[in-house]
Copies of this chain bind each other. A is one copy, B any other.
Amino acid sequence: MIMKYKTVIVDDHPIVISGISGLLSDLDNIEIVDKFESGIALLDYIEDNKVDLILMDIFLPVINGVDLCKTIKQKHPRIVIIGMSSQSERSLVMQFIQNGGNGYILKNASFDEFKECIYKAIEGEIVFSEEVKTIISQPLSEDLERIPGLSRRERDIALLLSQGKSTQEIADDLFLSFLTVQTHRRNILQKYKMKNVAELIAFLLKNNMLN
Chain A interface residues toward B at CB < 8 A = 12-20, 22-23, 37, 59, 86, 107-111, 114, 161-166, 194-202, 205-206
Tell me how many chains of this kind the complex includes.
2
On whether the beta carbons of B164 and A194 are closer than 8 Å, the reply is yes
On whether the beta carbons of A162 and B199 are closer than 8 Å, the reply is yes
A15 and B22 CA atoms in complex are apart in Å by 9
Most buried by B among A16, A114, A198: A198
Nearest Cβ in chain B — how far from A41, in angstroms?
Answer: 15
A202 and B163 CA atoms in complex are apart in Å by 8
On whether the beta carbons of A18 and B22 are closer than 8 Å, the reply is yes
Nearest Cβ in chain B — how far from A15, in angstroms?
Answer: 4
Nearest Cβ in chain B — how far from A201, in angstroms?
Answer: 5
On whether the beta carbons of B201 and A107 are closer than 8 Å, the reply is no
A12 and B86 CA atoms in complex are apart in Å by 10
Contacts of A20 in B (CB 8 A): 15, 19
Q: Which residue on B lies nearest to A158, using beta carbons?
A: B198
A134 and B206 CA atoms in complex are apart in Å by 26
Contacts of A194 in B (CB 8 A): 164
Contacts of A23 in B (CB 8 A): 15, 18
Nearest Cβ in chain B — how far from A38, in angstroms?
Answer: 11
On whether the beta carbons of B201 and A198 are closer than 8 Å, the reply is yes
Q: Which residue on B lies nearest to A22, using beta carbons?
A: B18
Contacts of A197 in B (CB 8 A): 196-198
Contacts of A114 in B (CB 8 A): 14-15
7 closest A-B pairs by beta carbon, nearest first, are A164-B199, A19-B19, A15-B19, A164-B195, A18-B19, A162-B202, A197-B198
